[in-house]
Amino acid sequence: MAKDTAVKPRKPHPDFPLFPHATGRWAKKVRGRLHYFGPWRDADAALAKWLAEKDDLLVGRKPRATTDGPTVRTVCNAFLTAKQHRVDTGELSPLSFKDYFATCANIVEEFGKERPLDDLRPEDFQKLRTALAKTRGPVALGNAIQRVRSVFLFAYKNDLTDRPVKFGSEFTKPSKKATRIHQANRGRQTLERSEVLALIKAASPQLAAMILLGINCGYGNSDVGNLTVSALDIARGWVTFPRPKTGTERRCSLWPETIKALNEVLANRREPKDAAHCDLVFLTKYGAPWSKATYQNPVAQETVKLLKKIGADHRGWGFYRFRHTFRTVADEVHDQPAIDFIMGHARDDMPSNYRHGISDQRLRAVTDHVRHWLFGKSTKHAK
């Protein structure tokens, strides 16, 4: 290549990110490889090219030519705006929006925000799948893949692109066999009664009440974090609280132990930092909700601390194990519709379409059985 000038130029200013290469071009070494950005005579154009490509180069992506079509940024922004509208109207939970937001962040990180949709190829999605699989088990990976697909399907259905994105044959959910093997390797997902009792005894008042709700009603992290005072009927011993994740109707008979723990929490509850949280049962020591939308869920964090406190192995352990234990013990009652109603599981089958309610007597029979398993005694119900 012929040089534009005979004398190598100086940098236009000290913090100019490129250097004059001997070939007559402005260059920069990124991740051990030289990249060129234009001739010496046009330092401004070379700088502009570097600024346009640096995000891709710094993470090891090949910079792509820009087009007039939609980019990853515009699609993700449009998708999240639509989902935010669903949150505002109560049709989508903040927890689900958090998952969609994280999915878009993964897409941007892997493809680059200015990547044109028309430039995406099956091999790009194969690389994304590999990246997602590094930090997820089969079930979480399958959910992440489905959310990625929904982002690009949204783009096609809403005329952001004229043709559907081709994911290729490899951008698929893990097989059922892979999921079964993973679950088998994780070991048991239920607790012994002695373990539950030890955790309740060692827990703080708030966490003890949460654990009791987990084993009494099959509640998970989001359930206890979003539980409202108005959902409780302490006098009669019931909680009627739709599942935050899906909005599915749910009702459960409360044990005396659970009622006692809840009364203690309510009697010592902190003032909420935000008036919007005044109906929440559980508030942190800072007056914030336990359902805070971060990946470090406060309920999960406190559960791990409790496990460390009693000297238990906390690896791979989560609050959801109480929900797993409730379901496993409750199934011995052989009343699947009642158990599903307590847990907020909706089944799309013919019997469910014809079933219009579950009696309180059946619901109590389920929770009585689990209480007898845990405490060895039955519940006396208010009349």
pLDDT means per 10 residues in the chain (383 residues)?
Answer: 66 90 89 88 88 84 70 94 91 84 94 88 93 88 95 94 91 83 64 90 94 95 92 96 83 97 94 90 89 66 83 71 94 93 76 69 96 81 49
User: What would be the CATH architecture of the domain defined by 193-375?
Assistant: Orthogonal Bundle (1.10)
The predicted structure's pLDDT at residue 22: 87
The predicted structure's pLDDT at residue 371: 97
Those residues with Cβ within 8 angstroms of residue 305's Cβ, 6 or more apart along the chain or in another chain: none
CATH 1.10.443.10 occupies which residues in the chain?
193-375
- DSSP secondary structure letter of residue 151: H
* Cβ burial, residue 168 (10 Å; 0-12/13-18/19+): middle
CATH topology of domain 72-186: DNA polymerase; domain 1 (1.10.150)
CATH 1.10.150 occupies which residues in the chain?
72-186
The predicted structure's pLDDT at residue 313: 63
The predicted structure's pLDDT at residue 383: 43
pLDDT digits (tens, 9 = 90+) for 68-126: 678 999 999 999 999 999 988 888 877 788 899 999 999 999 998 888 898 899 999 99
Those residues with Cβ within 8 angstroms of residue 216's Cβ, 6 or more apart along the chain or in another chain: 252, 254, 255, 257, 258, 326, 367, 370, 371
**What is the model's pTM?**
0.63
Ranges of beta strands (E only) in the chain are 19-20, 25-30, 33-39, 232-233, 238-240, 251-253
| Rounded Cα–Cα distance for residues 205 and 270 (Å) | 13
